[in-house]
């Protein structure tokens, strides 16, 4: 006869078997906190605008070196036009025109570079200070969040859009326009589109949206003041608004980059990087933006313009 199998000790003693040990707990996993970009481009633009303004005042044509000009002996000579000629404490119109101010007639004659050069010139010290304060308040945060490449492209392309709109609305060809306001309104427009396309990651969404709309409306209302080129503001805002959908996309809430997931860690219900509506906004805005620039440049090259707002010379 065969042997009976041995009885386990715990049964002989009347004690139940021990339960199996639970699997080891998975290590806690938290995605890394994004490190903000170091903002250096916006301060560089800030400094470049002040250097350009100082150069403009240094070469400014002053009709008289006595009582007709307000002289500042800084870095040699900086000559400001009389207050009655330029209330913004700045140079003369001929000086701005010579250094690259925007003028439709000159653009149509082949000086296309004025579409970009005008955004680095300013009509006066007050004009410069207002724009540069806005640049620091808006641009620094955007560059820290999205980097210098996207914000630099946004700034220049928005300024170009404002210049094209300014030319197209100047049917008389008498406007001499300077200023970075078109580019700054582009940054404001990009902030609005960024809020819309990245809606899922924001808290207090409606409050943020209404606050931003109020700020944009107040800034656009400045364009109704005399001698302000509101068409450049609107053109820059529209260019920046559509470009924001293209350049300023963020991953949707809950997305985790696979390179930050530890080996063997199973993430349930993994989300895609972007939502479907973000892609729809991106490609639709890109098509509208390209179509707008193509149509605008075509009209400008063919010397076709639309109705103009009253003559103004700064933006």
The answer to whether 193 and 244 are in contact (CB under 8 A) is yes
Cα separation, 93 vs 101, whole angstroms: 9
Q: Which of 79, 233, 285, 308 is flagged as catalytic?
A: 233
Which runs of consecutive H residues, i.e. helices, occur in 201-267?
205-221, 230-247
Report the sign of the C-alpha dihedral through residues 133, 137, 142, 147, in that order.
Answer: positive
Answer yes or no: 122 catalytic: no
Cα separation, 52 vs 50, whole angstroms: 5
Cα separation, 11 vs 7, whole angstroms: 7
Tokens of 18: 């021990």
Cα separation, 300 vs 146, whole angstroms: 33
Cα separation, 79 vs 90, whole angstroms: 8
Q: What is the CA radius of gyration of the chain?
A: 30
Cα separation, 157 vs 229, whole angstroms: 18
Q: Which of 92, 158, 177, 181 is flagged as catalytic?
A: 181
Cα separation, 162 vs 235, whole angstroms: 4
* E strand or H helix that includes residue 70: strand 70-72
CA atoms within 13 A on the CB side of 95: 24
Residue count (the chain): 315
For residue 76, give the DSSP letter: S
Cα separation, 219 vs 181, whole angstroms: 10
For residue 169, give the DSSP letter: T
**Apex CA 46: angle with CA 44 and CA 47, to 5°?**
65
Which residues are catalytic, by number? Answer: 181, 233
């Amino acid at each position: 006869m065969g042997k009976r199998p041995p009885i386990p000790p715990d049964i002989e003693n009347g004690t139940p078997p021990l339960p199996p040990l639970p699997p080891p707990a998975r290590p806690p996993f938290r995605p890394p906190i994004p490190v903000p970009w170091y903002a250096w481009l916006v301060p560089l633009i800030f400094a470049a605008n002040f250097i350009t303004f100082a150069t403009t005042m240094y070469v400014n044509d002053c009709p008289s070196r006595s009582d007709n000009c307000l002289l500042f002996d800084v870095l040699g000579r900086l000559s400001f036009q009389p207050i009655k000629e330029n209330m913004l404490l700045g140079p003369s119109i001929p000086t701005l025109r010579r250094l690259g101010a925007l003028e439709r007639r000159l653009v149509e004659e082949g000086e296309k570079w004025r579409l970009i050069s005008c955004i680095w010139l300013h009509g006066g010290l007050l004009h410069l200070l207002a724009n540069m304060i806005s640049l620091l308040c808006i641009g620094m945060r955007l560059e820290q969040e999205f980097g210098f490449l996207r914000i630099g492209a946004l700034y220049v392309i928005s300024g170009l859009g404002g210049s094209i709109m300014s030319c197209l609305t100047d049917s008389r060809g008498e406007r001499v326009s300077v200023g970075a306001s078109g580019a700054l309104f582009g940054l404001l427009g990009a902030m609005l589109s960024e809020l819309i396309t990245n809606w899922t990651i924001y808290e207090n969404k409606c409050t943020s949206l209404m606050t931003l709309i109020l700020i944009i409306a107040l800034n656009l209302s400045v364009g109704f003041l005399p001698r302000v080129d509101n068409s450049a503001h609107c053109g820059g805002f529209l260019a920046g608004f559509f470009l924001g959908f293209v350049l300023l996309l963020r991953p949707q809430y809950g997305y985790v980059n696979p390179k930050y997931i530890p080996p063997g860690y199973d993430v349930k219900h993994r989300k895609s990087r972007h939502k479907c509506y973000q892609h729809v906004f991106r490609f639709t805005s890109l098509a509208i933006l390209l179509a707008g620039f193509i149509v605008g440049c075509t009209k400008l090259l063919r010397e076709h313009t639309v109705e103009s707002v009253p003559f103004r010379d700064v933006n």
